Amino acid sequence: TYTDASAAVSHHRPIVEQFLLNYTESEIAQRQNHSLTQVEGYIKDFLRISVAHRQGYTVEGIRHLTGLAKGVVAKHLAHYDELAGSPVWKDRLEGKLRFYEASIDAERAKKGALA
């Protein structure tokens, strides 16, 4: 059980962890009794915040990029730091973030080719 000032972040933790364990978004939604849209949103926010953090953006910069509240960004980053520092989660997290970054790069290349 997770408790937090923000429901979004307390629900976010098990959702992100199940995503790192390779459950599909549909499976996570069913397991967590959330809508697919909510699950996809939590995962997308976590990935965007984590990648921006790895690229050197500050909490304030990430807040501006994502449109999320500063407190929500900070709590996602705290979870990122916990996962990145854990021998259990570190490799899984790294793999998902590398894949997400590669998909961003591919999309940018595609848009550049079309311009």
Tens-digit pLDDT profile for residues 20-41: 999 999 999 999 999 999 999 9
| pTM of the predicted protein model | 0.84
The 10 Å Cβ neighbour count of residue 98 is 11
In sequence order, what are the residues at sequence separation of 6 or more whose Cβ sits closer than 8 angstroms to the Cβ of residue 98?
Answer: none
Instruction: Provide the pLDDT confidence category of residue 69 given band limits of 50, 70 and 90.
Output: very high
Mean pLDDT across the stretch 75-79? 95
